[in-house]
Amino acid sequence: MIPRLVGSTVILILGTAASALGQGVPPSRATLPAFRSDQEIVSYFRQLAVEREHREWIASKCQNGVTLARAKGATAVVTGTVADQSGTPISGASVSLGPSNAAGASGADGRYRLVPSPGTWQPGDTLTLVVRSIGHRPERRAFTLAPGDSLEVNFGLCSDALLLQGITVAAAQAVTIDGLASITNTQHAGVDEGDIVKLHGNHLIVLRRGRLFTVTLGRRELGPTEAVDAFGPGIDPAYTWYDELIVWGDKIVVIGYSYERGGTELGVFRIGPTGRLRHLDTYHLRSNDYYSSRNYASRLVHGKLVFYAPMYLEWDWDDPLAALPAMRRWDPKAEGGGRFERIAAARRVYRPAGASLSSDDVTLHTVTSCDLAREPLTCEATVMIGPPGRVFYVSPEAVYVWLSEWRRWRSWPGGAAPALLARLPLDGSSPSALGVAGAPTDQFSFLESGDGYLNVLVRSEAWGDAMWAPEWADGAAALLRVRLASFGDGSQSAPAAQYRPLPAPGERATFQNRFVGEYLLYGTGSGWIDQKRNSATLFVVPWKGGALSRLPLPHGVDRIEMMGADAVVVGADEQDLHFTGIRLTDAEAGGPHVAQEYRLANVSQGELRSHGFFYRADGTDSGVLGLPVRGPGRPGYEHLFEGSASVLFLANRDGRFLPLGELEARAQRDRQDWCKASCIDWYGNARPIFIEDRVFALLGYELVEGRIRGGRIRELWRLSYAPQAARTVRR
């Protein structure tokens, strides 16, 4: 789920299109067709249900085999194999276990192994194991699990070749951010993103493990101000994840997802001039889980909150209209917490022109706009119907959602376009769309450039940015470059000539990409998986056209970041962490080239989220960067459970990286904090923070301030704001 803040309005994308603000490129006259009435929506949904039943009848000719064996072990674990009907192992199949958030993929031998993390499930819970693979019908298996259970669940997937036979469908009738300083590493200037820490005046606001904290940033000391639950009174926080916050005026919005209450939860708080917090209201929006390992749910654009979350269409409905976006103001005294009220009118529900949905997993892609200036909060939603796979991107002018099947399509530019790219303007006008092929990896695969084009790096085999799907992007690569004016009602597709073929980065590994200035950079590294690379190639592509550069690196590409007008690539080898500066702006040097390198021995990244990095420019070619780090050789996923050891700071001076030193964590790992909710740091727990001339390191429950003098950073203050243990230490 991804909120965005625009003006005083919260815009949430929940499988729908967004209302927006701001001035942008005028949309094409043709837009996505909208429904004219509720009756038309009901007829359309029922038609989709009939098609689905027909596909299930065809699929029943395949005898799918699912076997389950239970044994006892030291810890709960789910293992098994994924094969096709002939028994041939299927590698790369996506396997997830909800609601525990355990996920992974099958190996070359078809085997997978999932260990549900403690705290994400309870003994006796019904867990659902879902397996998806290219060209095969998704399969699910529900079961209960006890702490010592060792389950073997084997799948024989049915080919979906029969399901792709033509089925015709009668289509329905076409009918600084707002003056505040940002301490967040964002993709676009003017587009702030939700995070675990924000700044309000001289107070830091930190969201951690189900609580909100405020810290006063005095010039002579750091002081803990307030610690409150990140949820409202009368709410049971079990099975709820509170992961992001945004700040507008004197209001704080905490964004979470509740499995218990079945949707996006918005907690609204007011912060006073002394940093005190007061809960105002809690709201729920119907949605499915919005989690992405690479994206955030919220943005603040032109003072509005923009938010994305999917809504998967259920088929066992009594009332099809009950599937549409709805909202409630939480009332602990009312039965069930209160009544949901619909927030999407029929004329704000859109579909591709003449398109038939052949997927069993139909999704309502929703953008909800909520006015933060009003009390109580008022919201309205726009919906676009499409297949479930998605990547979404927010520019200063529009929200883009790339809609595709869960499975990776084999078609490629020049063939059929099985995906749809929707453009949802932030000025409130109707959304438009374009047929496309392939899929982007994450939000950093996009750039809406100032010349009236959208640029997107696509791969032939990609699943979108949900969960850990971006870690498995593979196949051919191409740069799609299309005019914004070419978006219409979705019936037209981008021609093959608009896809520039690019070199694939080689063997399967975690894929990273980023637009920096006039260039697109991409390469592969280790990411969340346990895989180190002693060499990689960084590809640098001028997105307006021109010769591509290949830059060999002595490490993997695990992070690509802007460093002023240039870029820095961060990556690990077997033991060390490397920082490689890429010069993009020096035309006399013969094009993009490696300008500087720095190696830090025996460490790895301590935080993989994009917000874990920050660069503060203090000149055209100078500045300071910060990044959390920890011990050597650690697989990326361990940062969910193990905190960062320190935050490393490097100076960028005269084409050289100069080490400034580290601000270290010292808190006891086993300190009891009586965690009530969100007890795994899915969105991280460490950040470098730059506020004017001050430098901080956020490390779990510790906030450390440093001072840069004589080419070194030295600790100035240290605050532990852990529950029941808040104190400041002067160095």
Quick one: pLDDT at residue 510? 87
The two structure tokens encoding residue 665: 């964590």
Quick one: pLDDT at residue 180? 52
Going 720 to 726 to 728 to 729, the CA torsion angle's sign is negative
Contact 469, 130 (CB under 8 A): no
Token pair 């699990």 is found at 145
Amino acid identity of residue 312, one-letter, is Y
Quick one: pLDDT at residue 658? 96
Quick one: pLDDT at residue 704? 96
Rg over CA atoms, the chain: 25
Q: Assign 3-state DSSP to the chain and report helix, strand, coil percentages, each to 5.
A: 10, 50, 45
Peptide bond just before 320 cis, omega within 30 deg: no
Quick one: pLDDT at residue 18? 31
Contact 271, 200 (CB under 8 A): yes
How would you label 658-674 residue by residue, b for 16+ Cβ within 10 Å and e otherwise? Answer: eebbbbebeeeeeeebe
Contact 433, 352 (CB under 8 A): yes
How would you classify residue 608: left for phi > 0, otherwise alpha for psi between -120 and 50, otherwise beta?
alpha
Rounded to an integer, what distance in angstroms lies between the CA atom of residue 225 and that of residue 156?
56
Coil, helix or strand at residue 357: coil
Rounded to an integer, what distance in angstroms lies between the CA atom of residue 394 and that of residue 298?
10
Q: Which H or E element spans position 73?
A: none
The two structure tokens encoding residue 85: 């009907």
Quick one: pLDDT at residue 240? 92
Residue from 625, 664, 613, 672 nearest 643 by CA: 664
Name 275's Cβ contacts closer than 8 Å, sequence gap at least 6: 203, 214, 215, 216, 225, 226
Cα 98 to chain centroid, rounded:
18
The two structure tokens encoding residue 661: 């030193």
Q: Which residue(s) pair with 67 in the sheet?
A: 154
Rounded to an integer, what distance in angstroms lies between the CA atom of residue 148 and that of residue 216?
45
DSSP string, 572-620: E-SS-EEEEEEE-S-GGGTSSEEEEEEEETT-EES--SGGG-EEEEEET
Quick one: pLDDT at residue 575? 84
Amino acid identity of residue 270, one-letter, is R
* Helices and strands counted in the chain (H then E): 1, 51
Neighbours of 585 (CB within 10 A): 15
Q: Is 304 exposed, middle or buried (0-12, 13-18, 19+ CB in 10 A)?
A: buried
Rounded to an integer, what distance in angstroms lies between the CA atom of residue 327 and that of residue 380?
9
The two structure tokens encoding residue 657: 């990286």
Amino acid identity of residue 425, one-letter, is P
Q: In what order do the strands lie in the sheet with 398-404?
A: 389-394, 398-404, 419-425, 432-436, 489-493
pLDDT lower than 70: segments of the chain: 1-29, 54-74, 101, 134-135, 137, 159-181, 354-360, 406-417, 507-508, 528-532, 587-589, 633-639, 641, 668-671, 724-731
